[in-house]
Structure 1
Amino acid sequence: MRPIVDFLLNDWLNVTSLTERARFADHGAETFAQVLDTCERIAREKYAPFNRLVDTQEPHFDGEKVTLPQATHDAWKAYAESGMLSAAQDYDIGGMQLPYVVEAAANGFFGKASVSIGAGMLTTGNANLLMAHGSPLQQQVFALNEFSGRFSGTMCLSEPQAGSSLSDVATRATPDGAGFEQDPLGARFRLVGNKMWISAGEHELTENIIHLVLAKIPGEDGKLVPGVKGISLFIVPKHMVGTDGALTGERNDVVLAGLNHKCGWRGTTNTLLNFGEGKFKPQGQGGAIGYLVGEPGQGLKYMFHMMNEARIGVGIAATMLGMAGYEASLAYARQRPQGRPIAGAGAQAESGPKVTKDAARPQVPIIEHADVKRMLLAQKSYCEGALALELYCARLVDEAHTGTPEAAAEASLLLEVLTPIAKSWPSEWCLEANSLAIQVHGGYGYTRDFPVEQYWRDNRLNMIHEGTHGIQALDLLGRKVVMQGGAGLKLLAGRMSDTITRAGQVDGLAAMANGLAAAVQQLGAATKSAWATGNPEEALANATPYLQAFGHVVLSWIWLELALVAKASQPVTDEHAARNAGLLAAARYFHVYELPKIGAWLNVVAAREPVCREMQDAWF
């Protein structure tokens, strides 16, 4: 994996150019490489050897506490001590001021080694949200202790009865007193409710767990405001803390109701949490104590800061699981002998061409068979393309934070459009890569003697994680491509057009450039047709095939970009030459095997095909 990471960061994204900016001026190619080396080593030593262990020894709850394997404790300790939790933060709070694109690439090693053990995505995201929207004391007490690894963090959105429908959140937050009385840590409330699917919601890995909880504040009539406008965000620590960050010894009224037993990601606790059930009475009263973040009623807006960050993280996790399966199936295909070369080319018989095999010849490794190469090429094109997409989005984050005002505005706009793709595309197509990895192994792939079945199980969650496929599709077609009069879509199309122009002048890439140009035109026409009547119900009925087509167009563009770099590269070693040839083959594969699929997807979008929305319950 390291060669493709280095190619993407250095040859394509030119990350060392970021060191010309004041924030990253202390860094260079050497420090970036050292970060990657360190994370790769920790992942290899503390994560990868225990991936199967944490899959088979699931978290255990004895009614009082959750027990995890010692390997998980050791991995968390090594990760926290690496400084990666605060990698992108300012020096004065213990950070490294690393570019996010380098941080994202480095964290990828942990996802590939054992996504189930996990790294710090939720903890870092929790702390980053507080740095953006919390008070100075909330940042000092909660965020900084998360960055150090002393505390860990969660995001608590979904509820058993609501799932992704956040407008139906029923968790209630009542002012702890006559009004919004100010505790030094923020306006104090008492929360009562339940939260479901909370990853890392209970464990003993850290001194404290900081829950960020969405809840509604009752109106003057005591009723909850319907919809999302009444949702506020609260810090709810597992253990109560003082203004110095020290634990007070008092337990907050947050109780683990049970662990969810998952298909994959078995090493990470996934929980149902009860807030305010009365088992504990902090400060002598029932209800979990929560501190308001920012202004009341702005909770969902604040939480999107963490959710969008997590969506790129989920995309990277999906990519890395696909990459792990690809590398395992590639190694297997190179050493597994089976079958012999096809002979007799051109021989004819009455029934058709005659195909023969010489049984006396030795068997060949299965990688010599064209259909196995097809499956490996598909995995390579999905996983390396997805990694390029994720790192491109991470590079946009750096541009949005440190670029010129114009460049920052464009980067933010592109991120708005690409975030649904960054989350959804790898979670679908790197899952397909895992399925193909099983297929390459044959019957062995379906057994637990080989790792590829676990990679598939772990990856299946990512189509659900942080907003399902359908939700990402509604967000893309219903909001992102039409916002600001389609400005984001036009900007992205302009970037694609520039790539098409450059590739059209390069020998061997013109056909791909022409194919992408036609695809971009077809995507634009389908977008207009979907909204031709202005009826959201008609437009959005086929949002998922639109998402699939959009993603394939984006990945075709990404692959054309990579092909341009590979073509221009002057390899100095045989390994570099093979790498470039492999990139060009994967680009060609994606353009001739994958890009043509968009026609079927976009046809139903453009026609506003009504069969799905008109289907009735009784007809099933």
Structure 2
Amino acid sequence: MRQTLDFLLHHWLDVEGLCQRPRFAEHSAETFGAVLDTCQKIAEQKFAPFNRLVDTEEPSFDGERVTLPRATHEALAAYVQSGMLAAAQDHEQGGMQLPCTVEMAGNAFFSKASVSMGGYAMLTSGNASLLMAHGTETQKRVFAQNEFAGRWFGTMCLSEPQAGSSLSDVATRAVPDGSDFESDPLGPRYRLKGNKMWISGGEHEITENIIHLVLAKIPGEDGKLPAGVRGISLFIVPKKLVDTEGRLSGERNDVALAGLNHKLGYRGTTNTLLNFGEGKFRPGGQAGGGLDGAGSGAVGYRVGKPGEGLRCMFHMMNEARIGVGLGAVMLGYAGYEASLEYAKQRPQGRPMSAAGKDPGSPQVPLIEHADIKRMLLAQKAYVEGGLALALYCARLVDEQQTGEPEAAREAALLLEMLTPIAKSWPSEWCLEANSLAIQVHGGYGYTRDFPVEQYWRDNRLNMIHEGTHGIQGLDLLGRKVVMDGGAGLQLLASRVNATILRAGQVEGLAEHAGALAQALARLGGATKSAWASASPQDALANATPYLQAFGHVVLAWIWLELALAADGAERDGAVDANFAAGKRGAARYFFRYELPKIDAWLGVVAARDATCRDLSVEAF
């Protein structure tokens, strides 16, 4: 994996070029390499050896405390000590001012070694980044900086048992706490009551405190909760109350663990049902906070203005979605490497040649068979393409934050377009890679003697959390491709067309360039046809097939880019012939085996097919 990672960073994304920008001026290819070396070492020593342990010894709750394997505590302590929690933050906040691209590349090692152990850090980083973007100066100093330091971890609390993904139906209430609620130094102070479900990292004792970011609604003067998502506000709700210097007050906030969810996979991360304000704990005072104890419920501090909670939370949700995509990629990558090693070592069967008909002739390794190569090539195309997509999105973040104004604007627009793909495409196709890894192992792959069955179980979550496939499809076709008159789609198409023009002049790649041009045209035509009736009901009935087709077109573009980069790196002597041949082979596989799938997906989209929408409930 490391060779591919270096190729993507240095021969495709040009991370060294970022060192010319003031924010990254202290860095170089050598410092980037040192970061990756450190991450790889910690992941291999502290995370990977215990990935099976955290699966078999899943979290337990005795009614008071959650118990996790000691290895989880030690692994995350090593991660915190590495500085990766604050890697992209300013020096003044204890950060390294690393490019997001390099930060994500470093985190890839942890996701591959044990995605569920690394989940706590991903959530904490996203939580703190949200507060840095939308919090007050005090909230940044007290909450975000203690999270970046690894003293506290964080969560995101959106879903509720009765609402699931329907955030407009959130029923958690937040009531101003006293007449002086606006004057609390930590932010406008409220009391929250409600229940939150599917909260990853919601309870543990890895750190001394947990900072929950909670979506809730503030009742109107009539006592009723506002309808829809526009009435949602965002609140900081710490597990333990703190003062304005970040010191624990000694009081437990009224946040109680109702129970743990027992999962198919991803067991190393606790997943919880949390009750806010049920009365199990009754916070009544707070050093330096001015809390008068007049209210009841969990103490929370509002972030941003009332009714802007979902806008603020999307900062974390979008970051988490790219993180989920990376996690899916790396689980797929782990399965690919395991099945590749197995296929090279496992003798089975004989070749189809005349010599192979002799039962006394020696068996050949599995990898000599064409169908095994097919499954390995598919995995390679999915995982290496998915990794490239994730790092490209990270590179867009760097451009958005440090590029020239026009480049920054375009990067932000492209990132909006690609976020649903960066989350959904790896979640589907790197899960398929894990399924193929099991298939390569045969019956052994279905047993716990080999790790590939766990990789599949862990990866199955990624199509669900941070927005299901259906939600990502609705977001893409219902919002992203039509926003600003289709400006984002036009910008993406212009980038794809630029690659097509370059590849069209290269022997061996012109065929792929032509296929991508046709696919892009079909995608554009289907998009117009989907919205031809101007009816969301018509257009969005097949949003998921549209998402699948869109993702495959994007990945075909990525693979054409990688094939071009591999040619250039081989000419420069930066990679050997076998490495470059592997990249070209995966690209060829994607264009001949995968890209043709879009015709079926786009067919129902363009026809605004009503088969699924119109079938009566009784017919099922």
Residue of structure 2 in register with 1:202 after alignment = 203
Please give the alpha-carbon distance, in whole angstroms, between the structure 2 residues aligned to 1:140 and 1:330.
Answer: 47
Deviations 1:203-255 (A, max 9, x none): 00001000000000000001000101110000000000011101010000000
**1:137 and 2:138 aligned:** yes
Q: Tell me which residue corresponds to 2:57.
A: 57
Structure 2 distance, partners of 1:451, 1:87, is 30
Which structure 2 residues correspond to residues 146-185 of structure 1 after superposition, within 5 A?
146-178=147-179, 180-185=181-186
Unaligned runs of 5+ in 2: 285-292
1:460 Cα deviation (Å)? 0.2
| Larger deviation, residues 568-577 vs 70-79 | 568-577
Aligned counterparts of 1:566 and 1:233: Cα–Cα separation in 2:
46
User: Conserved in 1, the CA contact under 8 Å of 2:88 and 2:97?
Assistant: yes
Partner of 1:475: 475
Question: How far apart, in 2, do the equivalents of 1:277 and 1:372 lie?
Answer: 56
- Give CA deviations for 1:81-133 in whole Å, capped at 9, x if unaligned: 00000000000111100000000010010000001211511101000000111
- Alpha-carbon distance in 2 for matches of 1:537, 1:18: 44
8 Å contact from structure 1 (residues 280, 286) kept in 2: no
- C-alpha distance in 2, partners of 1:227/1:520? 36
SS of 2:305 mapped into structure 1: coil
Structure-to-structure mapping, 1:354-433, within 5 angstroms:
357-433=357-433
Alpha-carbon distance between aligned partners in 2 of 1:181 and 1:556, rounded to the nearest angstrom: 52
Q: Does 1:296 find its partner at 2:306?
A: yes
Distance 1:55 1:80 in 2: 22
Q: How does 1:300-319 map to 2 (within 5 A)?
A: 300-319=310-329
For 2:476, give the aligned amino acid: L
Give, in whole Å, the separation in 2 of the partners of 1:517 and 1:344. 43
> 1:570 Cα deviation (Å)?
2.9
In 2: Cα distance, 1:607 partner to 1:402 partner: 43
Structure 2 contact 569–575 (Cα < 8 Å) conserved:
no
**Is the Cα contact below 8 Å between 2:570 and 2:580 reproduced in 1?**
no
Report the residue type matching 2:140 in the other structure.
Q
**Does the Cα contact within 8 Å between 2:276 and 2:298 map onto a contact in 1?**
yes
The answer for the alignment partner of 2:27 in structure 1 is 27
TM-superposed deviation, 1:181 = 3.0
AA aligned opposite 2:57? Q
The answer (yes or no) to whether the contact 1:234–1:291 under 8 Å persists in 2 is yes
Matched, 1:242 2:252: no
1:453-464 alignment to 2 at 5 Å?
453-464=453-464
Matches within 5 A, 1:179-328: 180-283=181-284, 284=293, 285-328=295-338
CA distance in 2, matches of 1:212, 1:317: 22
Q: Deviations over 1:9-28 (max 9, x none)?
A: 00000100000000000000
Partners of 1:183 and 1:574 in 2: how far apart? 58
Query: Is 1:88 aligned to 2:88, yes or no?
Result: yes
Q: Give the Cα separation in 2 of the matches to 1:344 and 1:545.
A: 45
Alignment of 1:448-527 (within 5 A): 448-527=448-527
Cα deviation, residue 343, structure 1: 1.9
Shift of 1:463: 0.2
Q: Which moved more, 1:561-570 or 1:368-377?
A: 561-570
Give the gaps of 5 or more residues in structure 1: 346-355
Which residue is equivalent to 1:586?
586
Cα 1:574/1:188, change in 2 over 3 Å: closer
Structure 2 Cα separation of the partners of residues 445 and 418 of structure 1: 33
Asked if 2 retains the 8 angstrom alpha-carbon contact of 1:184 and 1:243, the reply is: yes
Separation in 2, partners of 1:490, 1:316:
26
**Take 2:368 and 2:617, find their aligned partners in 1: how far apart are those partners?**
50
User: 1:179: how far off?
Assistant: 6.3
Q: CA deviation at 1:306?
A: 0.3
CA distance in 1 between partners of 2:93 and 2:496 (Å) = 40
Tell me which amino acid in the other structure corresponds to 1:338: Q
SS in 2 for 1:115: helix
The residue matched to 2:193 in structure 1 has which SS? strand
Once residues 20 and 257 of structure 1 are traced to their aligned partners in structure 2, the CA distance between those partners, rounded to angstroms, is 51
Preserved CA contact (<8 Å) 1:174 1:217:
yes
Root mean square deviation, CA, Å? 1.1
Are the counterparts in 1 of residues 214 and 235 from structure 2 also a CA contact under 8 Å?
A: yes
Amino acid at match of 2:578: A
**CA distance in 2 between partners of 1:210 and 1:81 (Å):** 20
State how far apart, in whole Å, the 2-side matches of 1:570 and 1:163 are. Answer: 50
CA separation of 1:575 and 1:369: change in aligned 2, threshold 3 A = farther
The range that moved more, 428-437 or 335-344, is 335-344
How many Å separate the matches in 2 of 1:511 and 1:133?
Answer: 48
SS at match of 2:116: coil
Determine the structure 2 residue equivalent to 1:352: none
- Structure 1 residues 496-505 or 573-582, which shifts more? 573-582
**Partner of 2:113: helix, strand, or coil?**
helix
What secondary structure, in the 3-state scheme, does the structure 2 residue paired with 1:532 have? coil
Question: 1:132-162 CA distances to partner (integer Å, 9 max, x unpaired)?
Answer: 1101011111000000000000000000000
* Whole-angstrom distance in 2 between the partners of 1:552 and 1:180: 51
Tell me the TM-score normalised to structure 2 length. 0.97
Q: Hey, what does 2:288 align to over in structure 1?
A: none
1: distance between equivalents of 2:129 and 2:570? 41
Q: Secondary structure at the residue paired with 1:326?
A: helix
How far apart in 2 are the matches of 1:573 and 1:328?
29
SS class of match (2:323): helix
- The CA deviation at 1:180 is 4.1
1:105 maps to which residue? 105
Per the TM alignment, residue 576 of structure 1 is displaced from its structure 2 partner at its CA by 2.1
Post-superposition CA distance 1:556-604 (Å, at most 9, x none): 0000000011112236879722110100000000000000000000000
Conserved 8 A contact 1:515-1:591: yes
Partners of 1:572 and 1:368 lie apart in 2 by: 31
Name the counterpart of 2:352.
342
Does structure 2 retain, via aligned residues, the 8 Å contact 1:236–1:288? Answer: yes
Counterpart secondary structure, 2:491: helix
Aligned partners of 1:509 and 1:487: how far apart in 2? 29
Aligned to 1:569, the other structure's residue is in SS state helix
After TM superposition, give the deviation of residue 389 of structure 1 in Å: 0.4
Identity of aligned residues (%): 73
| CA offsets 1:283-315 (integer angstroms, 9 cap, x no match) | 145300000111111000000000000000000
Give the 3-state SS of the residue equivalent to 1:212 in structure 2: strand
Partner Cα distance (1:501, 1:371) in 2: 34
CA offsets, 1:411-438, max 9 Å, x none?
0000010000000000000000000000
Q: Amino acid of the residue matched to residue 174 of structure 2?
A: A
CA contact 1:571–1:577 (8 Å) conserved in 2: no
Q: Compare 99-108 and 115-124 and name the one that shifted more.
A: 115-124
Measure, in 2, the Cα distance between the counterparts of 1:606 and 1:173: 45
The 2-side partners of 1:165 and 1:182 are apart by 33
Question: Match of 1:124, SS?
Answer: helix
- 1:349 matched residue in structure 2: none
State the secondary structure of the residue aligned to 2:192: strand
CA distance in 2, matches of 1:482, 1:450: 46
Q: Structure 1: how far apart are the matches of 2:116 and 2:178?
A: 42
